[in-house]
Chains A and B, each alone.
Chain A
C-alpha cells in the first residue's frame, strides 16, 4: 500500500546546462528536510544531475526547451524524483539503459547516466515516446530519522 505524500514541489526551467547545478542543489535542499545521511544526499544530487543532463543533452539535443521537475516524499521517507522533457524521445529505452550505451561519437561521454541513476536510487523507471519526450522517475527510501 502506498503511503500518503507528505510534501511536494514542482518546478520547470529552461533546458540549459547552467541549470544542472541549480536542479541538483534544489532537490538536495528539499530532501534535506528529511535529515538524511550525507551519502544519501550525495547520491540524490548525482542522480538528479544525470537525469537533468540527459533531458538537456539527449531529450532536447542542446537546442533548448523546458525541463519539468517534480519531487515529493511520503510520511515513510520515500523520495520520488520525476524529470520530464518534451524532446525527441528514446527509440529503444532498454538499449539506452545498458551500461556504456551512448549516442555520443566524440568519446567524451561514458554512457553511464542511467547506470548511475539506477545504482544511486532504489528504483528507476523510464518511459519514452519518440517525438513526444521522456519521463525519468527515481525513488529512494531514506534511512530512518531516529539516529
Chain B
C-alpha cells in the first residue's frame, strides 16, 4: 500500500479522519488540503486523526499532526490521535508531541519480528537442506 487516502465523517462536532496508506512528503499535501478544507467549513469541536490504516509515516506525518494541532487549537477545538503503531509512536516521541496531544491507546496485537515471507524462506531453506 503506497497511496494515502482519508475517509472523513462528521458527527456532533467531532470530525473523524481515518487515514490509510503511506504518509510522506509526496502524499501528505493532498490530504492536508482535504483536512483543512473540512476544518474551514466550521462547527468542529474535536478532530480525531485515526492512523489505523497507515503502513508508513516519516516526519512529513509529524508535520501534518503538528500543523493540524496548531490550526485546530487556534479554532478553539481539540485534536486526538488514534491507532498509532509502534513505528509512528517512535517518531511522535522524538518530537515530544505526545506530551501535549492526547493519544488513544490501542490494544496490542502480537507482532511477528520477521518479515511476512520469513517463515516461507525458512521452509525453503529446510527443504533445500533435506
Contact = CB atoms under 8 A, between A and B. Distances in A.
A32 B114 CA distance: 10
Contacts, number: 79
Nearest to A114: B59
A110 B66 contact: yes
A77 interface: no
A59 interface: no
Nearest to A46: B58
Contacts of B25: 17, 20, 53, 56-57
A32 B63 contact: no
Nearest to A100: B95
Size category of the binding interface on chain A: 20 to 34
Contact of B113 (A38, A99, A107, A108): A38
Most buried by A among B2, B59, B66, B94: B59
Given A112-B91, A116-B94, A49 B24 contact: yes
A17 B30 CA distance: 13
Interface of A: 17-18, 20-21, 24, 32, 35, 37-39, 41-42, 45-46, 49-50, 53, 56-57, 99-100, 106-110, 112-113, 115-116, 119, 147
